[in-house]
Amino acid sequence: MTDTSNWRERAGRILLDPADPDGEPLTTPLDRRWLWRIEQVIAINGGNDTMRQLAFDLKQYLNETCEHHWRLYAREKDIPSHTQCLWCCTVEWLEQS
Ligand SMILES: [Zn+2]
């Protein structure tokens, strides 16, 4: 049986959303989004040591080479205002706590 469906039907927001959850334009290239998707799927579905090592190495590579997409977070109670990357989750604090 030939699968005639299209990858776009299963792609989800990580691949196809033109905007981030705040509605800001998301310009991360599709190839890069695919790498993040593959990393997430492997991390969740792990399997054997080879796959776990691949997930670890891919995550390290993606973090090292991330072109950050910053999301702004206003101060909330004890958490100072900050920006956080949608992809690698790096945080930059905008004020002292
Ligand atoms: Zn990043």
Please tell me the distance between residue 28's alpha carbon and the centre of ligand 1 in angstroms.
11
State the pTM of this model: 0.83
Question: Cβ neighbours of residue 19 under 8 Å, at least 6 residues apart?
Answer: 25, 26
Q: Which residues pair with 2 in a beta bridge?
A: none
What tens digit of pLDDT does each residue of 40-60 get? 999 888 789 999 899 999 999
Decide if 2 is inside a domain: no
d(CA 80, CA 15): 31
Please tell me the distance between residue 73's alpha carbon and the centre of ligand 1 in angstroms.
15
pLDDT surpasses 90 at 94? yes
Neighbours of ion ligand 1 (CB under 5 A): 66, 68, 85, 87-88
Binned at pLDDT 50, 70 and 90, residue 97 comes out as low
Please tell me the distance between residue 82's alpha carbon and the centre of ligand 1 in angstroms.
14
- The confidence score (pLDDT) of residue 2 equals 81
Decide if 5 is inside a domain: no
Decide if 6 is inside a domain: no
Range of the domain at 23: 11-93
Domain count, the chain: 1
Identify the helix (H) or strand (E) that includes residue 46: none
d(CA 18, CA 52): 30
Decide if 3 is inside a domain: no
Please tell me the distance between residue 65's alpha carbon and the centre of ligand 1 in angstroms.
8
DSSP structure string for 51-65: HHHHHHHHHHHHHHT
